[in-house]
Amino acid sequence: MFERLFPKRAHKKAPLPEPTPQLALGALLVRIALSDRTYQAKEIAAIDTILAATFTLKPLEAAKLRATCEALERDAPGTPEFAVILRDTIPYEERLGLAFAMWQVLLSDGHSAEIEEATLHQIEAALGITSEDSETIQARALG
């Protein structure tokens, strides 16, 4: 009886946007934060701060971008596809800065798990960052 009065509506997901450099970076930051199977407020805050600083966004705009990136990370292509977008559009020196930002997200919750570091190193390799530069960035991030 209630089904006739209140038919179930099919829940339609909004189509995901095509990945842009902003979305690709955000999705990779989210991927790093989620790689240890936790997603803490400190990691979310770090992602928002990085997105705001990198793309000159207001806090609310950065949070909205992160929310879109979370959906994209869940349902979109893998790490190599996101990395290619960044590698093809961002100069090497700037990618080094992005890798450092990724380390900031990884370390924002106060610890680093092996899986997080492995994920980050995979992303760095996909971004075309050399092993030597990766080690330098990691040492700088660990302080």
Domain locations in the chain as residue ranges: 19-142
Task: Tell me the chain's radius of gyration from C-alpha atoms.
Answer: 17
pLDDT score for 5: 58
- CA 36, CA 28: separation in Å to the nearest integer? 14
Query: Which stretches of the chain drop beneath a pLDDT of 50?
Result: none
- CA 118, CA 122: separation in Å to the nearest integer? 6
pLDDT score for 78: 82
Identify the CA nearest to 32 among candidates 137, 112, 139, 138. Answer: 112
Does residue 56 contact residue 117 with C-beta atoms inside 8 Å? Answer: no
CATH class of 19-142: mainly alpha
pLDDT score for 10: 57
pTM (predicted TM-score): 0.87
Does residue 81 contact residue 122 with C-beta atoms inside 8 Å? Answer: no
Does residue 101 contact residue 29 with C-beta atoms inside 8 Å? Answer: yes
Identify the CA nearest to 86 among candidates 28, 13, 142. Answer: 28
